[in-house]
């Protein structure tokens, strides 16, 4: 549900902004340009700061709230943080559904953002801590899977609400966000806290019992894992200032990854497609209906391809997926740029594409989206959430979330003007980053598959570059090997 509310918001805004009644009510100047002036340059049709703010304000709020949520997940537990997130989110959705002016609309989006910040902070940590390490990758990827389900549901909802007589369908679209919010609030009541969180709060016996319960084994069989958790918690307790600690030399590899992985995930340009697919397709000359339908198709591909990661990360490892996904994205991003350049050139003055041509464009976009969906999408959350030792986990996760939101915000902010300015070159712009990030992973990211979360130090100690940051004093036994 945490992923779903996030995904729903990602997918919903592009569709409603392509609905004429919504535009007319809140963004009359864009409406005029879009509806009345058919001759305008296609690349610049939707270039409006206030329209952009409608999409991007949510991510700015999520950025701020994930910093607060970091304190909350540590102090009050992961569960309560999820509950608070769900409730704030619900209020935001209701405000949006009944919006009568732009202020209500943007204020609602900001509340939704606060909810998203809390949920994305608390959920991946919760899942990583609950999961047995052999299945941690798969279970964590379900978070991204639910983001993609949320995006798809939003695309489908938009497709149907756009057809509602009277043009108030956008209210249903925006209000629909309240449904997963109710779920998450109710479910957060029922869920137990993680053993790690209980140990952090000194509830040792309860933590032990919880560990037996979630692993489904007897007290004796959880002994090793329990000792690991308690040791990690003690180390964590000695750390008074997780934020200051994060700057210590020994956490350098984690700090670098917690910043670069989410930043690079957004610099793949994925949200150009996710936020603005209907707008993008309209700019490419598709009709209203066809644009919303094409967004459903990209949403579907995005969701289905995420299953590859759910089943594949613990089998093939993180690195292989990252690298394969990167190469595939690069090729098809360049293909999209070439296809658009050939038809629209620099002037952008085309009113319609031949059908076969549009189909090829949509196919290339889908292949690009599928590559993202089994690589950077899920791994962008999984890898950061599994590499941090407990003593800095909440702080580092909140860096990951806020960097992700910052770049999501950035892409949402600049996309429409960049499309207008860079034209088809926009896709080349992102493909340069995709090339850089693929090389970065190849050189700097060690494989983390199958390593218990509290023993993760070993991967840095073995890495040709990162080992110089690791202190020598804490040699450990891992899987029988001294490291």
Ligand X SMILES: OC[C@H]1O[C@](O)(CO)[C@@H](O)[C@@H]1O
Is 14 among the residues that bind ligand X (CB under 6 A)?
Answer: no
Is the distance from CB of 254 to CB of 396 less than 8 angstroms?
A: yes
Nearest to 88 by CA among 104, 65, 56, 55: 65
Q: Which is nearer to ligand X, 302 or 313 (CB)?
A: 302
Cα-Cα-Cα-Cα dihedral sign, residues 110, 111, 116, 117: positive
- Residues present in the chain in total: 483
Is 146 among the residues that bind ligand X (CB under 6 A)?
Answer: no
Residue 199 burial class via C-beta count within 10 angstroms: exposed 0-12, middle 13-18, buried 19 and up: buried
Residues near ligand X (CB under 6 A), total: 14
Residue 189 CB, nearest approach to ligand X (Å) = 26
Q: Which is nearer to ligand X, 178 or 274 (CB)?
A: 274
Helix axes 78-97, 102-130, angle to 10 degrees: 160
Nearest to 137 by CA among 379, 445, 479, 398: 379
Question: Torsion over CA of 404, 406, 412 and 418, rounded to 10 degrees?
Answer: -110
Is 402 among the residues that bind ligand X (CB under 6 A)?
Answer: no
Q: Which is nearer to ligand X, 260 or 270 (CB)?
A: 270
DSSP letter at 346? T
Is the distance from CB of 273 to CB of 299 less than 8 angstroms?
A: no
User: Cα 259 from chain centroid?
Assistant: 14
Is 294 among the residues that bind ligand X (CB under 6 A)?
Answer: no
Stretch that binds ligand X, among 227-235, 269-277, 278-286, 466-474 (CB under 6 A): 269-277
Enumerate residues 6+ apart whose C-beta is below 8 A from 301: 366, 369, 370, 373
Q: Which is nearer to ligand X, 77 or 380 (CB)?
A: 380
Residue 277 CB, nearest approach to ligand X (Å) = 10
Q: Which is nearer to ligand X, 232 or 369 (CB)?
A: 369
Q: Which is nearer to ligand X, 251 or 376 (CB)?
A: 376
Is 124 among the residues that bind ligand X (CB under 6 A)?
Answer: no
Nearest to 278 by CA among 27, 6, 34, 103: 34
Is 285 among the residues that bind ligand X (CB under 6 A)?
Answer: no
Stretch that binds ligand X, among 143-151, 329-337, 417-425, 428-436 (CB under 6 A): 143-151
Q: Which is nearer to ligand X, 386 or 454 (CB)?
A: 386
* Interface mask toward ligand X for 229-268; x: CB under 6 A: ------------------------------------x---
Q: Which of 377, 384, 389, 446 binds ligand X (CB under 6 A)?
A: 377
Is 296 among the residues that bind ligand X (CB under 6 A)?
Answer: no
| Alpha carbon distances (Å) from 425 to 182, 267, 340 | 42, 15, 9
Q: Which is nearer to ligand X, 222 or 441 (CB)?
A: 441
Round to whole Å and give the CA distance between 114 and 267.
Answer: 23
Residue 241 CB, nearest approach to ligand X (Å) = 29
Is 211 among the residues that bind ligand X (CB under 6 A)?
Answer: no
Is 144 among the residues that bind ligand X (CB under 6 A)?
Answer: yes
Residue 42 CB, nearest approach to ligand X (Å) = 24
Residue owning tokens 């949006």? 96
Using CB under 6 A as the binding rule, the residues of this chain from 27 to 56 that contact ligand X are none
Work out the number of other CB atoms within 10 angstroms of the CB of residue 479: 10
Residue 261 CB, nearest approach to ligand X (Å) = 11
Round to whole Å and give the CA distance between 309 and 316.
Answer: 9
Residue 333 CB, nearest approach to ligand X (Å) = 15
Stretch that binds ligand X, among 142-150, 163-171, 390-398, 431-439 (CB under 6 A): 142-150
Is 147 among the residues that bind ligand X (CB under 6 A)?
Answer: yes
Residue 11 CB, nearest approach to ligand X (Å) = 8
- Tokens matching residue 397: 């996760």
Round to whole Å and give the CA distance between 420 and 415.
Answer: 8
Q: Which of 4, 5, 10, 174 binds ligand X (CB under 6 A)?
A: 10
Residue 13 CB, nearest approach to ligand X (Å) = 11
| φ, ψ for residue 481, nearest 5 deg | -100, 135
Q: Which is nearer to ligand X, 193 or 385 (CB)?
A: 385
Residue 247 burial class via C-beta count within 10 angstroms: exposed 0-12, middle 13-18, buried 19 and up: exposed
Is 283 among the residues that bind ligand X (CB under 6 A)?
Answer: no
Is the distance from CB of 378 to CB of 141 less than 8 angstroms?
A: yes
Applying CB under 6 A, the residues found at the interface with ligand X are 10, 144, 147-148, 151, 265, 270-271, 274, 302, 377, 380-381, 408
């Amino acid at each position: 549900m945490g992923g779903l509310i996030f995904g729903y918001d990602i997918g919903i805004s592009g569709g409603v902004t392509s609905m004429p009644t919504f535009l007319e009510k809140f963004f009359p100047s864009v409406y005029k340009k879009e509806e009345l002036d058919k001759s305008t340059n296609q690349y610049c049709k939707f270039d409006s700061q206030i329209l952009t703010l409608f999409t991007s304000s949510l991510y700015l709020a999520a950025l701020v709230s994930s910093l607060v949520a970091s304190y909350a997940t540590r102090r009050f537990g992961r569960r309560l943080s999820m509950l608070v997130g769900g409730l704030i989110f619900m209020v935001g959705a209701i405000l949006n559904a009944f919006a009568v002016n732009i202020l209500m609309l943007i204020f609602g989006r900001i509340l939704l953002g606060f909810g998203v910040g809390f949920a994305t902070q608390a959920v991946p940590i919760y899942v990583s801590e609950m999961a047995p390490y052999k299945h941690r990758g798969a279970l964590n990827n379900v978070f991204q899977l639910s983001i993609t389900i949320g995006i798809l549901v939003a695309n489908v909802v938009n497709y149907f609400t756009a057809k509602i007589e009277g043009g108030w369908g956008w209210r249903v679209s925006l209000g629909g966000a309240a449904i997963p919010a109710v779920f998450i609030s109710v479910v957060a009541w029922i869920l137990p806290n993680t053993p790690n969180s209980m140990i952090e709060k000194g509830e040792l016996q309860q933590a032990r019992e919880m560990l037996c319960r979630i692993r489904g084994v007897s007290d004796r069989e959880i002994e090793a894992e329990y000792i690991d958790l308690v040791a990690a918690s003690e180390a964590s307790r000695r750390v008074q200032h997780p934020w200051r600690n994060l700057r210590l030399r020994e956490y350098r590899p984690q700090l670098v990854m917690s910043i670069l992985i989410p930043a690079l995930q957004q610099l793949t340009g994925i949200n150009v497609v996710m936020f603005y697919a209907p707008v993008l397709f309209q700019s490419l000359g598709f009709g209203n209906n066809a644009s919303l339908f094409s967004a459903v198709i990209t949403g579907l591909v995005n969701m289905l391809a995420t299953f590859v990661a759910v089943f594949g990360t613990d089998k093939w490892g993180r690195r292989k997926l990252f690298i394969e996904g990167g190469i595939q994205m690069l090729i098809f991003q360049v293909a999209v740029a070439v296809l658009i350049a050939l038809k629209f050139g620099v002037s952008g003055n085309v009113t319609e594409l031949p059908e076969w041509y549009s189909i090829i464009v949509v196919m290339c976009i889908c292949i690009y989206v599928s590559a993202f969906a089994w690589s950077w999408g899920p791994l962008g959350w999984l890898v950061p959430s599994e590499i941090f030792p407990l003593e800095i986990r909440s702080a580092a996760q909140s860096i990951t979330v806020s960097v992700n939101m910052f770049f999501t915000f950035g892409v949402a902010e600049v996309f429409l003007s960049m499309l207008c300015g860079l034209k088809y070159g926009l896709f080349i712009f992102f493909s340069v980053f995709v090339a850089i990030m693929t090389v970065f992973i190849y050189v700097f990211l060690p494989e983390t598959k199958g390593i218990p979360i509290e023993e993760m130090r070993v991967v840095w100690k073995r890495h040709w570059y990162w080992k110089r940051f690791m202190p020598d004093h804490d040699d450990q036994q891992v899987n029988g090997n001294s490291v």
